[in-house]
Structure formats: C-alpha cells, structure tokens
Structure 1
C-alpha cells in the first residue's frame, strides 16, 4: 500500500488518483458506518460494489455482522485475548484423521513468501480451527474442501476465537447441506445450474445437455477457495458470497459457464467428457467485478423460485432457510442443528424408500404371484410405524387383505 506521502505525490501528478482515493475513503466510511449499526443490507450493497470490503481490516468488522455476530461481539478481539481452549477437552470428532490429511496439503497458493516454520504454524492453527468447530458441533460431517474455506477465514481474521465463532455459524447456517452424511443435497443444488442456463441461454443448455453439472462440485462445495489461486481474489469473492444468500454461489458458477459460451461451443456436444473437463477447471483470469455484477443481474432475472429444480430442494436446506442474509444472521446455532436433523431424517426416509423399491423389484415375480400381501409386508419392514402416509397405506391394505 502507498504511504501517505506517496499518495500526496501521486495525487499532485494525477488528478484521477485524487478522485480514486476520495471514493475509497467514502466507501471505507460507509463500511464502518454499516458495521457500527449492524446494517446487513447496506453491507450487501457495499460487498457487491467494486472492490468489496477493500481490506482485511474492514473484513474483520464486516464479516461478523454478515454471519450474525453483532458489532459488540464482532469487533476484532484484543491481541491479549486468551484463545478458548476448552474444546480440547471434548471427545474427538470421527473425521479428525481426514482433517489432518487435508491440512497437510493446505496453503499451496497463499500466503506467499512464508518460511517452512511459518507454514507449519499456519497449518497448526488451521487444524485447531477446524477441530474446534467439529468438536463443538459433532453432528456436522467434515468434507474434503472444508479446509479450503477455513483457510481463508484464518488468513482474514486475527483472533482464534472469532475465527471459530464465524466458521461455526457459516457451517451450521449457510453451508449446512455440504456437512450432512451424504452428497445428495449437494447434488440437488447442482441440478439448479442446467435450469439457470436453460432460462438464460437455451442453446447453451442444449449444447451441454449430456454433461452432468458435477463439474461445478469443487467450486461450489469450497466457495471457490479450492480453485482461485490469488488471496486477494478469494477474499474479495468471499465478501459477496457472505453478503448474499447461499444459492448465489450456484448462480455464480452458472454465470461462469455463460461467460465461457464461445469456448464451449468450440467443443463437440457429443463428447461430454471433454466438456466436463473444461468446465471443471476454473479459469484463472477472470474479471471478478464483472462476474459479480453479471451474477447479480442473472439472479434478479431468474430467481430460484422460477427454476423447476428448486422444487426438489428440501425446505430444510440452507438454500431455503437462508434465503435472506439478514434473516439468516438472526438464526441461532440451535436452529441450524434443528434444520440439519430435519434434513437428515428426510434423507434417511428417502433411503428406506429406495430399499423398498429395490427389494420389490428384485422379487417382482414372486410379488406378482402373491399379490399385495408382499408389498404390505415390505412396507411394514422398511417403513417405521410413525411414518405418516406409509402407516395409513399399510393399515388400509392390511384391512383390505383381512389381516
């Protein structure tokens, strides 16, 4: 950053530099004012404007507000604040071994110019941050790529206590779907991408018709921290991702695909493997400001409720429970856990239904011979007695069959 003397010298030579500094100073004041009053809507507008929150110092004030830690708690903690070590006494989380394997591979691209000793210290801090959150909230399942997200929080935020508090809220309230026991909710999110493309560019959607949207998994799962290699870029992108509802991340990937339209049309649509390969590699030279602005317009033109795949998203999904950043900031960790448990029950019920159908198909000839009794028996075995409509169906057929 330029020193004050350098700024004065450059301003005298270049009047446009004076205007630029004045705009920045106005934005700094606006960010500080929004943080002071915990104004989430104002911060969202500032995050989307050019440069986002500008500096890590301002991010340390803005991010807590966006994640629901009020200003009185969210101020950067004093340097002498004693880190909370009570989590170390809690039982080990089942995924800690995988956490350590991933942490050992962290900090590949940034920070730069670090010694081996400094990187080792960063990795120790990262391991403690992730383990702290998982032990405090053991129902959450670690996923590979979570460490990429936590790495950004570690570098931006100065206080270990603040890092853990914000990452915990992010995990339970905004990326909860990724921390369930299966990837199925994540896959449902990816299914929104073809719908967005179909609404915005039907010809491109047809060109990619045979290419499953799994190409977006690494990008969306890690909030793009796995793919973006420049620290300034990922910190700036996090400004807008934290200020917008979680589904905005899906729209962001769809917009990246739209920006690559010409490149994709050069490929044979009958070779989905090549298209998948191209789409799964994030372009390293992107105009982030244009990408963010275009994504915001895309979101306004085709809101989630207009997409067919939106109906298949669980009501307990973070995409629906956090449709408003302001409302999400008011949610409690207990509410996040309740949504998690509700969605987990839905996944377990869906798995039981799949088992029923699979078993019925396997014994379809016998079932045809024995009639409805077999179907009723299968339902009784696989569906709990308190499963609502299934209980009523079973009772009806039992009565019908004279049981």
Structure 2
C-alpha cells in the first residue's frame, strides 16, 4: 500500500481560493454532488472494509507512527483519508493528539486529589437535565449490554459530564451534549475522556455551550450560502425555510442522528481533524445530494422541513465525506455570499453591499479559532475560557442590538399603520393648515402668499401622491 494513497493533502488549510483554484468547474462539481443519489441505489457504504488486510495493516502502521511522533498534521491527514483511523485502539492514541491533550503544556496537571475533589464542588445549575438525558443514553450502541453494564456506563457518563461542568462552571449544558460525550467515553475510556471532553467543550464546541443558542444559529446562517454557491436553484427553493432543521445534527456533531457506532466514530475522526465549520459543510453536502428529492416537495409543504431534519438512510458516509472535502476546498467560508439575508439580521440600506456571512462570525467563535485546525492543539483551557467569555459578551451585545432593531422596526410599522388608517383626516388637516398659513402670510407680506402657497401645495400634492400609491400599505 502506497502511503501517498492514504495521506491526502490537507483539506483544512487557511489559504485563499486564488492560491488554490477549484479542482472542478461549477457544473462538474454539481454533477459530482448529485451523483450520490445513484450510489444510494447501487451500493452500501463499506467504509474501511473496502481495504485489503495488507492495506489496513500498513495504514495502521502509519497511524501508529504518526501518533508516536505526536505529528498532528500526519494524524489529521490519516483521519480524513478513506477509512479514517480504522479502530478504537488507534483512536485512543490519535484523538488526544487532534484535541491537543498531549501538546497543551500550559493546561494544569491534575493533582492526585483532583480525581474526587470535583464531587465536593458546588453543583452545576444544569445537573438535573444531565441526569434526565443520561437515563436515555446508550440506546443504539453498544449492543448486547447487560442491565448492570448499562447502569455502569450511564454512571460513568453522568460523572464525566458533571465533572466537566463543575470544573468549568461557565459552560452551559445543552440537550444532545451527552450524545457526544458518550462516544468519547466508549472510545477513550473514562480516564482519558476527562481531558479530551474538557478540551472539546471549550475549544471546539463552546459556541453551543453559551447561555443562549445565538452563536449556534450563526453557524446555521452559513448553510444556504454554501448551497447557493453550488446550486442557486436549490437554495431559492429552500429560501422560505429557516435553517433550524440542521440544528440537532450540527449541535451534536451528528451523534444524535447516526445510530451506528462505527459510522459515528468514523465521522468523529473526520470532524476532529478538520475545522469546526466542516460540520456545516457536511450538512450542505447532504442537502445537495438530495436535491431531486427536495425539488419534488413544495416549499410550503411541512414534509419538506421533516425531510431536511432527518438524515438519509442508508448514509453513504465515505462518499459524503469526500464530497464535503471537495465542497470546502472549492468554496471556502471566506468566499461565501448571502443569496438573501437571514430574517434574523436587520436589512441593510439598499445601496450598501450585503455582508459576507463569514465576516459576521466573531473572531472568538470556534468557526474561526479552529482555522487552521492545528491551532486547537496549541490552545489551553484558559484560552478557551477567555474566548468563551468574549463570545458570550459579543452575543449579548448582538442580542441587545437585534432586540432594539426589532423594536424600532415594529414602531415604524405601527406609525405607518396609524398614518394610513387616519390618512383622510391628515389630508384634510393638512389642507386647512396650508390655507391658514397662506392667509396669514398674505396679510403680513402681500405677494409672498402666492410663492409660499405654491410651495405648500407642492408638498401637499407629494404627500397625497405617496398616500395614494399605498406605499406604506404594501409594506405592512
């Protein structure tokens, strides 16, 4: 097995599109993305099983060597390549490297008492919800667990989550977090999962652990620009729908949606080796692959939202990941444009260019702090907490600004509605006022009343014309 066939060029660099022109013209890429529909009918994804035993052995040797050398770039390339990291024994070595557990020397070393000290710390505000979700965990995998083993795993999961939250009380638990953490627990084990989950929470998914989901919604606003870059017709077809249908999958790194343990572990290989934005690109790839199915549904049909909210089955994962990498390389996030502004954003003046969606993402968001992806390995937990608080303040300011913009827009609508409702009285009052002013000026300065009267009549005709066209009425 030729190592070059495994170690592919990094797909998550920070270079500009001018440095790396798209490998495919627009039409060819669209055909590639659409072709997966045929593959769903003809083949079932076999992931790494398509590799020969010799290929697997050689790739495993490459992964082991990269982990021994703590070579982040090599581990990332191997994790992205077809088949990913192959098995959990290799993931236990590779995932901590991808998360920087072995390189972040500034993170404090745990003391012997830390293993139990967290149990004495103040209870986190979300622990009740944690327990409710843990009681619903380990539904799809592992298979054939006894009742006692299930209880043991749930207890380990509950302790791992609570320990993370008590150690970093700024973090806010969200429903679905347990789906992510249970995968780390199964792959890494209860001890190694502790630093990995802490770094994952603060350095890769902190946007989802703020007091509100405002930052998570900002991620979703990249979805339609990605789709529109490839297929404007499909983007327009979906434009009436808010992208909230993608929230569950992207919020949980797809762990809430994918029921096969092998598939979700393989997907985590890919996501941890890429920038955080790759999760959005993956969902866009899935939508583009379903374009024919989506065009068969009317935009106003509730079934369209239901279809978009669920992942296709079977999920041909390796093909999707390959298409996702192509999509990211051809249309990097900094080149994306809004096909139309999200409803949650205030409309700009007509002469102002619409902003690029990437510029609306704060620098403290994981979408930017994980770009390029090797930055994660050099960041500390203290860095993560600092970025968390910075992002929380930024989201608070944006929320206040959005609330004020909505209040102002509502006040303008009410004003226009009242003006339109009382337009006849206003016209009569205006006409009388013009007459009185003209009479007064005529008495004070003979001859001036003609010029002033013409001016006031012109203003009156202009107002009458505006009201007559019903301009305000159409805006209500």
TM-score, structure 2 length as denominator? 0.68
Q: CA deviation at 1:255?
A: 0.4
1:149 matched to which residue of 2? 180
Deviations 1:5-60 (A, max 9, x none): xxxxxxxxxxxx99811111110111011111111211121112221100100000
**Match for residue 227 of structure 2 among 181, 184, 197:** 197
Measure the CA separation in 1 of the matches of 2:370 and 2:235.
Answer: 28
1:316 matched to which residue of 2? 364
The answer as to 2:395 corresponding to 1:347 is yes
SS of residue matched to 2:275: coil
Measure the CA separation in 2 of the matches of 1:199 and 1:357.
Answer: 29
Which stretch of the first structure deviates more once superposed, 319-328 or 167-176?
319-328
| 1:1-400 superposed matches below 5 A | 20-70=52-102, 84-158=115-189, 160-271=190-301, 273-307=302-336, 308-354=356-402, 356-357=404-405
1:390 matched to which residue of 2? none
1:77 matched to which residue of 2? none
Measure the CA separation in 1 of the matches of 2:102 and 2:326.
Answer: 30
Which stretch of the first structure deviates more once superposed, 81-90 or 231-240?
81-90
Q: Given that residues 103 and 378 in structure 2 are in contact (C-alpha distance below 8 angstroms), is that contact kept between their aligned partners in structure 1?
A: no
Deviations 1:220-269 (A, max 9, x none): 00000001000011001100111111100110010011111111111112
Q: Given that residues 229 and 284 in structure 1 are in contact (C-alpha distance below 8 angstroms), is that contact kept between their aligned partners in structure 2?
A: no
Measure the CA separation in 2 of the matches of 1:19 and 1:362.
Answer: 61
Q: CA deviation at 1:83?
A: 8.6
Measure the CA separation in 2 of the matches of 1:72 and 1:270.
Answer: 50
Q: Given that residues 104 and 378 in structure 2 are in contact (C-alpha distance below 8 angstroms), is that contact kept between their aligned partners in structure 1?
A: no
Deviations 1:111-135 (A, max 9, x none): 1001111111111010001001000
Q: CA RMSD in A?
A: 2.4
Deviations 1:380-401 (A, max 9, x none): xxxxxxxxxxxxxxxxxxxxxx
Measure the CA separation in 2 of the matches of 1:183 and 1:100.
Answer: 21
Going from structure 1 to structure 2, the CA distance change for 1:84 and 1:206 (only over 3 Å counts) comes to same
Q: CA deviation at 1:357?
A: 4.8
Deviations 1:125-153 (A, max 9, x none): 10001001000000000000000000100
SS of residue matched to 2:52: helix
Going from structure 1 to structure 2, the CA distance change for 1:225 and 1:18 (only over 3 Å counts) comes to closer
Deviations 1:186-219 (A, max 9, x none): 1110010100000011111111111211111110
Gaps of 5+ in 2: 1-48, 106-111, 337-355, 416-476
Going from structure 1 to structure 2, the CA distance change for 1:335 and 1:21 (only over 3 Å counts) comes to same
Q: Given that residues 178 and 186 in structure 1 are in contact (C-alpha distance below 8 angstroms), is that contact kept between their aligned partners in structure 2?
A: yes
TM-score, structure 1 length as denominator? 0.80
SS of residue matched to 2:393: helix
Which stretch of the first structure deviates more once superposed, 354-363 or 17-26?
354-363
Measure the CA separation in 2 of the matches of 1:104 and 1:19.
Answer: 38
Measure the CA separation in 1 of the matches of 2:94 and 2:221.
Answer: 32
2:17 matched to which residue of 1? none
The count of residues paired between Structure 1 and Structure 2 equals 342
Gaps of 5+ in 1: 1-16, 74-80, 368-403
Going from structure 1 to structure 2, the CA distance change for 1:206 and 1:360 (only over 3 Å counts) comes to closer
2:458 matched to which residue of 1? none
